[in-house]
Structure 1
Amino acid sequence: MELLTRMLEQQDASGAVDDGALRSLAQQTRVPLHRLEGLRGFYPQFRRHPVERPVLSVCRDMVCRQRLGMDPVARVHGDPDITRDFSVEGASCLGRCDHAPAALRQHTPLRIDVDAEQRVKLSSNPEHAPRQWPLDPYSTPSQHYATLQRWAASGDIEELLNTLKSAGLRGMGGAGFPTGVKWEACRAADRAVRAVICNADESEPGTFKDRVILAELPHLVIEGMLLAAWVTGAREGIIYLRHEYEPERERLEAALREARDRGLLGPGHPTGFDIRVFVSPGGYILGEETALLEALEDRRGEPRNKPPFPVSRGLGGEPTLINNVETLAACVGILHHGADWWREQGRGQAAGLKLLAVSGDVERPDVYCVPMGTTARELLALAGGVQGGKPLLAFFPGGASTNPLPAGRLDTPMDWDSLREAGSALGSGAVTFVAEGRDLLDLVLAQTRFFRNESCGKCVPCRVGTQKAVALVESAIAGDPVDGLPELLRQLNGTLARTSICGLGQVALAPLVALMQHFPQQHWQALATGEAG
C-alpha cells in the first residue's frame, strides 16, 4: 500500500506523477524505476503531466447517455462556457447515477443540467434528508455497536456463525457466495488471519448502492468488520474505496473516529484492531477481490488465478476475509434480530432485504431497500414509474454485466434464482430501466466499450475479444457488417466465458448476445443480417 499511497499523494499535490517524482520515489524506497513505471501506466488515476485547467470528468456510460444524449462528453465539450474553465474528459461511470448526468471536478461530484437555451450548467448534488433504513437495527446513534458488544460478551462464535449460515445471507457484491460459510472457512484457515477487507470499489455502470450505505450507514459497515474480526481473529481492517467517493470517505473517517473514541478501534480495542481507508488508484477490475489484493500489495491490479482463494491465501499470502459493503452491513441486522427475522423479510423462497440502485428512465432514481423477491414492476412503481409516463422497453436487473430483459418480464422477482431462470442475474443490484424510443443497441454497445476499456489485459481472450466485439458492431453500424455477425458474437462470448480469468471477461459480451435474443428490433436485425447501411 505504501507505494500507491505515496503516488496518490503526489498526484493530489501536484496534479501528476511526473518522471522526476517517479525517480525520486524510486530512490527513497529503493524500488526499481521500471516497477513504479508499471504502476503509473496501469492505474488510470495517475497522470504523467499536470493539466493547465481543472479537469471536469464527464460520465459517458449508460445512464448518463440516457439523460444527456448518445455522447455526453461531446455535449459538454461543445459548450464554450465549460471549456473556458475546464479541461473536459470522458470517464467511466462515476457511481452517481441517481444524479445523472454526472461529472466530477477534482473530488467534487456535480450534476450536469441543460437550460432552456441549451447551455450546460453544473450544480451540486442535493443531500438526502435523514431516513430510517430497514437494514439498520438502531434508532439512535447511542445504540450503535450494541450487537457487537452483546456477541462479544457471550463469547459464542460458533453460534454467531450458525446464525449467519441459517439466515442464508449471500455476498451482495454480485458473486452471491454464502457469507457464513466464508467467515467459517477463514476462521478455520491453517494460519493466523491477516485482515478483514471491505470491498467498497463498486464501479460497474449503474451501481451506487454501496456509496449510499457508506454515506448514510457507515456505522453498520464498521460494526460488520468488527464482528468479522472478532470471529476470525484478524489483525487489521481495510476499507478499499473507489477514488471518486471522496465525500463518502470523509463520512467514513468521521465514523471511524467516533468508533475509536468509544474504544472500539485502535488502542481501545482489546487487540489493537483498527481500520484504515485505502483509496483506490482507479480501475473497474479492482472490484475483483484478488486484483484488489494485488493493489494493496503495490502491484498492478491483475486478477490472480484461483485457487488458492483469499480465505486461505490472501493479503501477503495470509488468510484474508473480503466482503462487500452491503454484506457487512446486513450482518449486523441479522446478528441483532436473528436468522428467522432475516428470512421473514424476503418474499416466497427468497430470504432477507436487498438494497437496489434504481436509475435510468425513472422519475425518482435512488437506492431502495426492499424485500428480496420484490418484482421489477413493484420496484419501478417505487421509483415513480417510467419518466414522462412513457412505455417501458427493457430493464437491466443487476448492472451493466447482466442481460437486459424485455418489459414483458417486469413481474420477475428480484432474487438470485428467479433472475437466473429469466436469463439474467441479480448482479451488483443496479437496476436500470429503459423507456421506449431509446436506442438499446447504443446503450449495450456503450457497456461493451466499458468492459473493453476496463480489461486489465492479463488474459488474451478478454483483452482481444472485447476489442474485437466492439469493432465488429461499430463496423456494422457504419454500414460494413460481416457475414454471420450474430453467430460470431455468440462464439466470441462463449470463448470469453470459458477462458477469461475473472468475471469481467466472462460477462463482457453477454448483454450483446442477450440483445439479439430478446430484442430483434429492426435496426439490430439489419446489422445481424448484413443489410445495414
Structure 2
Amino acid sequence: MSKPVTDRLLTALQAIQESQGAVSDTALKALSQARSEPLYRLEGLRSFYPVFREIAGAPHRLQICRDGPCRLKGQALAADLQVALDGRQDLDIEMVSCLGLCDCAPASALNETPGPLPDASTVIEWLDNAHWPIPVATNNLQRLPTDPYPGVDCRYGAIKAWRDRPAEDIIREIEAAGLQGLGGAAFPTARKWAFTRAASGEPRTVICNADESEPGTFKDRHLLENAPHLVIEGMLLGGVVIGASLGVIYLRHEYHQARRRIEEALATARGSGVLGPDARGPGLAFDIELFVSPGGYILGEETALLEALEDRRGEPRHKPPFPTTVGLHGGPTLINNVETLAAVTTILARGASWWRAQGRGEHAGLKYICVSGDIKTPQVLCLPWGSTVAEAIEGCGGLSDGRNLLAFSPGGASTPFLPPTAADTPMTFDDLRAAGSGLGTGALFVVGTGRSLADVLLAQAHFFRNESCGKCVPCRVGSAKGVEMAESALEHSPAPIEQALETLHHTLSRTSICGLGQVALLPLVDGLRRFPDEPSLKPLKGFTTGAD
C-alpha cells in the first residue's frame, strides 16, 4: 500500500514551509537527521518544487499571474502595481505561472488568498490595516448539469447499483457511452480501465490527476469545488474495477477552496461508510488520500506525478512501461483526470444511452469548457459534445470591449491558435485535430482584435520554457533557445527565423521525453504558418512591423 500522507517527505517539507515560511538549511538538516535521509536528497526536492523557499522573505506575499489570459488582460496593471509598491519592506511581489484563476483575469493571490488583481491603493490599504477583503473568485457553488443527484441524501447511488456487479459490466457501460479521457490525451476510458484490471501485481491504486496547470485551464477546479462527490465516487468505482484499496487525489496547491471541499466530502463519505473497510463490499476496503502538490506544471504529466508521490523529483519517466502496468510503487495504477472520473459517475448513474443522447449528432455526452481571454464573462460552460467554438464564445456573452475575433486556442497553451474562419468548428477531438489544432484540456482562450498575436504566442513559449523540468536536454535547451530567438527578432533586430524555429521544434518533438518539450514551440511555429499576414509576427519573418 502507498505510504500515508503523514509519512511523505514532501508532506513534511510542506509542513515546514507552512509553519516557518520557508524550508531553511537548518530545517532541512533537522529533517535529514529526524528521518535518517541523506541531505542531498532533501536538497534535491527543495530545489525542484517551486512552492519551497529557502528564505522566508517579507511577511506578506503577492503573487501575480504572468501567463495567458492574465497577461492579456493585466500586463499593464501588474507593471504599474510593481512600480507603486516598490520599496515596501513588508511585501514581496512574485510573477508566477498560471494560478488556475483565468475566469477572474488578471488573477493574483495575496498570502495564498486568490482573487482578481487589485490596484496599488487597495493593496496598501490592506497591508496598512491588516485586513484582507480580497474577493474570492471561486465561491459561487452550484449544482452541476452532470450531477445526477438532486440532493445530498441521493449521492453515491451509482456505487450502490454497480458495486456487486461484475467489473466487466462497468467497463462495458463506460465503453458503450464512448467516454474518452478528458484531460487531453483522449484515450478510451474503458480500455484504460480494462488494461489496468488485467495487469498483475501490487499495490493497486486509483489516482485522480487534479493538477491542471496549463494557462487557460480551470474546469477541474470548478468541478471539484461544486461536485467533489462525483470524483470520489468515480474513484471508488475505479477501485472496484481494478481491485484497489487506495485512491489518491493529486491536487495543485493553489486550489484552496477545492481542497476544503474535497476534505469535507471525504469526511462525509467516510462517516456514511461510502469509504472505509467495506467500501467495495464486505471486507473490501477503499479509502482516498488527498495529496497537495508542491507545484510545477510538469506534475500534470502522469509519470512525473508518480515520481512526486514516491518522494522524488517530479521528472517524467520513460514509457513504456505505462502506469496501467507499472505505476505507483511498481503496481498497476489507474490514472484519470477530474472530469473523466466525474463523467464515469454520471454515466453509471444515468446510463450510457442517456449520456450518448446529450451530444449532437454522432457525438456523445457533455463537455466542460473553460473560456477565458477577450470575452465578456469568462467561465466554465457545460456544452453538448459537438458544440462549436462560436457557440462557446456566444455562451459567454461574446467578445469584450467591442473587439472582433482575431484568433483562438481551443484547448490550452499547447494547442495552436486558429483564425476566425474556424470558429464554426465543433469542439471535439477529431474536428479540432482536422482543423489543425486540438481540444486539449478543454480550455478555449480567445484573443480579440487590437492585440499583438506575437506577444500572445511568445507568452505561451515563455510558459513552457519556464516550466521545463530540465531532465532532458532537448526540452531544457531547445525551449530556451526558441524563446531567445523570438525575443531577439521581436525586441531587437527583425530576423527571418521561421525555418530555424521549425527545425528546432521538429527536433524537440522527436526527442523530448514528455509532451511539454514536444509542444513547447508548437504554438509559435504554427502561428507563423497560419497567420502569414499578422503584422505583429512580421519581425520573425525579417520585416519591421507593418512592412510588406
TM-score normalized by structure 2? Answer: 0.93
Aligned residue in 1 for 2:469:
456
- Report Cα offsets for 1:91-143 as digits up to 9, x if no partner: 00000001111111233112114499999997312555443322111111111
**How many Å separate the matches in 1 of 2:289 and 2:138?**
26
| Alpha carbons of structure 1 residues 77 and 412: separation in structure 2 relative to 1, 3 Å | same
- Report Cα offsets for 1:490-526 as digits up to 9, x if no partner: 1111111111110101111110012112222123123
Q: Is the 8 A contact 1:186 1:312 kept in 2?
A: yes
Aligned residue in 2 for 1:141:
152
Q: Is the 8 A contact 2:143 2:227 kept in 1?
A: no
**How many Å separate the matches in 2 of 1:119 and 1:403?**
40
- The 5 Å alignment of 1:42-441 reads 42-69=48-75, 73-80=78-85, 83=88, 85-114=90-119, 123-126=134-137, 128-153=139-164, 155-267=165-277, 269=279, 270-441=283-454
Q: Is the 8 A contact 1:193 1:233 kept in 2?
A: no
| Alpha carbons of structure 1 residues 219 and 26: separation in structure 2 relative to 1, 3 Å | same
Q: Is the 8 A contact 1:162 1:180 kept in 2?
A: yes
1:18 to 1, 21, 24: 24
Q: Is the 8 A contact 1:76 1:88 kept in 2?
A: no
Q: Is the partner of 2:147 in helix, strand or coil?
A: coil
Q: Is the 8 A contact 1:200 1:240 kept in 2?
A: yes
Could you tell me how far 1:529 is from its partner in structure 2?
2.2
**How many Å separate the matches in 1 of 2:19 and 2:90?**
20
Larger mean Cα displacement after TM superposition, 521-530 or 87-96 = 521-530
Could you tell me how far 1:382 is from its partner in structure 2?
0.4
**How many Å separate the matches in 2 of 1:246 and 1:131?**
17
Counterpart residue identity of residue 149, structure 2:
Y
**How many Å separate the matches in 2 of 1:375 and 1:232?**
36
Q: Is the 8 A contact 2:410 2:440 kept in 1?
A: yes
Aligned residue in 1 for 2:130:
none
Aligned residue in 1 for 2:41:
35
**How many Å separate the matches in 2 of 1:131 and 1:296?**
32
Counterpart residue identity of residue 198, structure 1:
C
**How many Å separate the matches in 2 of 1:474 and 1:117?**
34
Q: Is the 8 A contact 1:58 1:72 kept in 2?
A: no
Q: Is the partner of 2:401 in helix, strand or coil?
A: helix
Counterpart residue identity of residue 42, structure 2:
L
Aligned residue in 1 for 2:528:
516
**How many Å separate the matches in 2 of 1:87 and 1:116?**
16
Q: Is the 8 A contact 1:26 1:32 kept in 2?
A: yes
| Alpha carbons of structure 1 residues 33 and 256: separation in structure 2 relative to 1, 3 Å | same
Counterpart residue identity of residue 27, structure 2:
A
Could you tell me how far 1:52 is from its partner in structure 2?
2.2
- Report Cα offsets for 1:192-222 as digits up to 9, x if no partner: 4521000000000000000010000100000
**How many Å separate the matches in 2 of 1:242 and 1:116?**
30
Larger mean Cα displacement after TM superposition, 85-94 or 473-482 = 473-482
Could you tell me how far 1:246 is from its partner in structure 2?
1.4
Q: Is the 8 A contact 1:472 1:481 kept in 2?
A: no
Q: Is the 8 A contact 1:260 1:268 kept in 2?
A: no
**How many Å separate the matches in 2 of 1:83 and 1:347?**
56
Could you tell me how far 1:80 is from its partner in structure 2?
2.9
TM-score normalized by structure 1? Answer: 0.96
Q: Is the partner of 1:266 in helix, strand or coil?
A: coil
Q: Is the partner of 1:79 in helix, strand or coil?
A: helix
What number of residue pairs does the alignment pair up? 530
| Alpha carbons of structure 1 residues 19 and 130: separation in structure 2 relative to 1, 3 Å | closer
Q: Is the partner of 1:78 in helix, strand or coil?
A: helix
Could you tell me how far 1:254 is from its partner in structure 2?
0.2
Larger mean Cα displacement after TM superposition, 129-138 or 299-308 = 129-138
Could you tell me how far 1:268 is from its partner in structure 2?
5.2
Q: For structure 1, list consecutive stretches of 5 or more residues without a partner in the other structure.
A: none
Could you tell me how far 1:25 is from its partner in structure 2?
0.9
Could you tell me how far 1:530 is from its partner in structure 2?
4.9
| Alpha carbons of structure 1 residues 147 and 168: separation in structure 2 relative to 1, 3 Å | same
| Alpha carbons of structure 1 residues 493 and 120: separation in structure 2 relative to 1, 3 Å | farther
Q: Which runs of 4+ in 1 moved over 6 A?
A: 115-122
**How many Å separate the matches in 2 of 1:497 and 1:126?**
37
- Report Cα offsets for 1:47-94 as digits up to 9, x if no partner: 11111231111000111112113x554332122399465211110000
- The 5 Å alignment of 1:454-533 reads 454-482=467-495, 484-520=496-532, 521-531=534-544
**How many Å separate the matches in 2 of 1:317 and 1:63?**
39
**How many Å separate the matches in 2 of 1:298 and 1:72?**
39
Q: Is the partner of 1:418 in helix, strand or coil?
A: helix
Q: Is the 8 A contact 1:114 1:120 kept in 2?
A: no
**How many Å separate the matches in 1 of 2:81 and 2:93?**
8
Q: Is the 8 A contact 2:203 2:332 kept in 1?
A: yes
Could you tell me how far 1:23 is from its partner in structure 2?
0.7
Q: Is the partner of 2:413 in helix, strand or coil?
A: coil
Q: Is the partner of 1:124 in helix, strand or coil?
A: coil
| Alpha carbons of structure 1 residues 302 and 137: separation in structure 2 relative to 1, 3 Å | same
Aligned-residue sequence identity (percent) comes to: 52
**How many Å separate the matches in 1 of 2:503 and 2:45?**
34
